[in-house]
Amino acid sequence: MEQEFVMQTMTHTNYFELFGLAPSYRIDMTLLENTFCRLQGELHPDRHASHSENERRMALQMSADVNDAYRTLRHPVSRAQCLIRLAGYAEAENSATVSPAFLTAQMEWREAIEEASAMQDIKVLEVLARRLRHKLTTQENELAAMLDEQGDFQAAALRMNELRFYEKLRNDIDDVIENMESTTSHGRV
């Protein structure tokens, strides 16, 4: 039974199929999580210890594929990237095509973060972080509409790059806040 499962799973052509999901930006995260746990249980090396070397190797490779697929589908940017590739569109990862408005927004965000960081103003950084979380939600909703409803993969590729920037910015703000909190807490004895 398990060998049949491994062989059957290896015939899936994309990550969505592997998890029994329709190719879509909006996916059921609970179903993804539950399917991941089930697949990992079925592919666990202990379950294949008595099988042939080839079957153990296939199960190990399939387990690695399941892990990769899970990471990809859980993350909004990589999930969008996967959909864009499935649709046959070239990625816009290295695309220099960005709107002047987006370039301006990038500079404004960076300047605001640098100012608040230089002033050690954690409250301003927290406000920026909240605004950024709202921006990310808006970007994700727009990206979902482009991919799932409009089928506009070129626009989605550009939006995906913008989302990637905003995620990096969110991580940067979180790091600055964490460093400030760490410095503040270590300074108090």
Q: What is the pTM of this model?
A: 0.79
Q: What is the pLDDT of residues 94-148, one digit of tens each?
A: 455 778 899 999 999 999 999 999 999 999 999 999 999 999 999 999 999 999 9
- Mean pLDDT across 168-174: 94
Angle between helices 53-74 and 76-86 (to 10 degrees): 110
Both tokens of 55, joined, read 């079957």
Can you list the domains of the chain with their CATH numbers? 2-74 (1.10.287.110), 100-187 (1.20.1280.20)
Q: In terms of Cα–Cα distance, which of 10, 23, 17 is closest to 84?
A: 23
pLDDT of residue 96: 53
| 25: pLDDT strictly greater than 70 | yes
| 62: pLDDT strictly greater than 90 | no
Q: Which residues contact 27 (CB under 8 A, 6 or more apart)?
A: 16, 21, 73, 79
Q: What is the pLDDT of residues 68-99, one digit of tens each?
A: 999 999 999 999 999 999 998 876 554 557 78
pLDDT of residue 2: 46
Band (pLDDT 50/70/90 cuts) for residue 53 is: confident
pLDDT of residue 7: 46
pLDDT of residue 127: 96
Ordered DSSP codes for 69-112: HHHHHHSHHHHHHHHHHHTTPPP-TT-----HHHHHHHHHHHHH
| 36: pLDDT strictly greater than 60 | yes
